[in-house]
Amino acid sequence: MAVRSFDEVSVGETFGPTAVPVGRETLVAYANASGDQNPIHQDEDFAKTVGLPDIIAHGMWTMGAAGSVLEQWLGDGGRIVEFGTRFTSMVVVPREGTEIVVTGTVKSLDEDTRRATVELGVTAGDTKVLGRCQAVVALA
């Protein structure tokens, strides 16, 4: 993939919206890959017994999927040098699956380091699920 160049990026530039589907098989794969086997992400009955509406996605899956959308825009995931978020709402994953929608906005540029600060907006249905989701990326 071609790495996005500092010279082609401007403040206020946006990308997306990009939908990322998530099904229960996605969460099983994420649990196995990440080691987070909390049953609220895999077992509907268990999730309901602890007061959740249904199975919910790992917050870190949602952050990871948002990172994957950022990588597509950036052209090299290894150039994401900082990445942070707050987990503000859960993503409920019913039996038939759902999706999250990711958008990005370039908030600022640093000419000396050729880095950009990008804010990601991540929603499920009408609900914003990540808050202050920001990354610093090293542009080419």
Site residues for other proteins per CB under 8 A: 1, 3, 20-21, 26, 29-30, 32-36, 50, 59-61, 63-65, 67-68, 70-72, 76-78, 80-87, 135
Comparing CB distances to other proteins, the nearer of 11 and 29 is 29
- Compute the least distance from the CB of residue 54 to other proteins, in Å: 16
- Compute the least distance from the CB of residue 53 to other proteins, in Å: 15
- Compute the least distance from the CB of residue 8 to other proteins, in Å: 18
For residue 26, give the H/E element and its range: helix 24-34
Comparing CB distances to other proteins, the nearer of 5 and 34 is 34
- Compute the least distance from the CB of residue 10 to other proteins, in Å: 23
Comparing CB distances to other proteins, the nearer of 11 and 19 is 19
Number of other CB atoms surrounding residue 121 within 10 Å: 18
Comparing CB distances to other proteins, the nearer of 10 and 50 is 50
Instruction: Note every long-range contact of 53-58, with CB atoms under 8 Å and residues 24 or more positions apart, other chains counting.
Output: 53/92, 54/92, 54/93, 54/94, 55/24, 55/27, 55/92, 55/93, 55/94, 56/90, 56/91, 56/92, 56/93, 57/22, 57/26, 57/27, 57/90, 57/91, 57/93, 58/27, 58/30, 58/31, 58/34
